[in-house]
Amino acid sequence: MNTNPAAEVARDDSEGMDYLVSLPRRMVTVYLPILCFLIVLLFPFYWMGLTSIKPNDELIDRSLNPWWVVDPTIAHYYHLIVNTDYPVWMWNTMLVAVTATLLSIAASVMAAYAIVRIRYAGSRWVGGMIFLAYLVPPSILFIPLALVVFQYGLFDSPMALILTYPTILIPFSTWLLMGYFKSIPYELEECALIDGASRWQILTRIVLPLSVPGIISAGIFAFTLCWNEFIYALVFISSSENKTVPVAVLSELVEGDIYHWGPLMAGALLGSVPVCIVYSFFVEHYVSSMTGAVKE
C-alpha cells in the first residue's frame, strides 16, 4: 500500500500538538507556567515601586495592607534627587558603563576576528584560554588590580573602573563574538581577498556589518555587567561624588542600622530603568546573536 510521506509528517506534527488544542490544556501547559514566571520575575519590581511611593508611616504600620498603598507620595523620589547626589551617581555609572563597554567591544571584536579568521597554530587554544579567564572570580582579581590602581594613582576616580572592568568583560565578549564570527561564511572573505581587500577592510566592510546582532548582544552583556558591578566600585571608589549607583545607594542611604527604605527602593528602581530600556530596544538582536553564537 502506497503512502504519502508528506501527509504522514503533517499528520504526525498535528498529532504532536494536539495537547495544546483544548483551552484547559493550554492553561496548564502554557499560560500557567508563563504566569508563574512573570510573577517571580516582576514581583521585585512591584515591591520596589510599592515601597518607593509609600509614606514612612505606612512602611512601619503593620495594621495596613502591605501589598497596597493607601496614600501614595513622591517624597522619597524628591529626597533622592534633590537632597542626595543621585544624579551625579547616575552620571558616573553611565559614564563608566558606556566607556568600558566601548573599549571592551572594540578589543573583543579584534581578538575574536584574529582567533577565528586568521589561521595560525594554537588559535583554538588561545580562544579556550580567553574563555577560561572569564571563569576567574572578580573577587580574586580585584586584589592584584587594586595594587595596579594604587601605583598608577587612579584610586577614587572613574578611570579606575573604566580600565579594570574590561578585565571581566573582554573574555566573555570575545568568546561570544568568536561563535558569531564562525557563523559568517568564510567564502565572503576569500572573495574579498582575491579582489585585493586588506584584513582591515574585510573586518570593517564585511564582517562587522554582518555581525551587528552579535556585537549588540556582547554590548548588552558588557553594559549590564558594568552597570550592576559592585566589588570593584566599592574597593576603588571612596568619595561620594565619584560613586556609582549600586554602591552609593547602599552606602549613602544606610546610616548604621537605619535603613531609609523609601529612598533605597526609589534609587534601586530608577537604577534599573536604563538597563530595562537597553534590553527592550535590542532584545531581538540579543536572542538572534545567542543562537548564532552556539553554532559551530
Residue-level pLDDT at 161: 92
Positions of CATH 1.10.3720.10 in the chain: 84-293
Closest CA to 221 of 179, 181, 172, 165: 172
Question: Residue 290: what pLDDT?
Answer: 53
Domain spanning 84-293: which CATH class is it, in words?
A: mainly alpha
Number of neighbouring beta carbons within 10 Å of residue 155: 15
pTM assigned to the model? 0.79
pLDDT along the chain (296 residues), means of 10: 51 51 74 88 88 84 78 87 90 94 93 82 75 78 85 89 90 86 83 84 85 86 90 89 90 80 88 83 63 47
- Per-residue pLDDT at 94: 93
**CA gap 154, 162 in Å, rounded:** 10
Query: Alpha-carbon torsion 179, 184, 185, 188, what sign?
Result: negative
- Who contacts 155 (Cβ-Cβ below 8 Å, separation ≥6)? 149, 236, 238
CA dist 201 and 228 (Å) reads 36
* 3-state secondary structure labels for all residues of the chain: CCCCHHHHHHHHHHHHCHHHCCHHHHHHHHHHHHHHHHHHHHHHHHHHHHHHCCCHHHHHCCCCCCCCCCCCCCHHHHHHHHCCCHHHHHHHHHHHHHHHHHHHHHHHHHHHHHHHHCCCCCHHHHHHHHHHHHCCCHHHHHHHHHHHHHHCCCCCCHHHHHHHCHHHHHHHHHHHHHHHHHCCCHHHHHHHHHCCCCHHHHHHHHHHHHCHHHHHHHHHHHHHHHHHCCHHHHHHCCCHHHCCHHHHHHHHCEECCEECHHHHHHHHHHHHHHHHHHHHHHHHHHHHHHHHHCCC
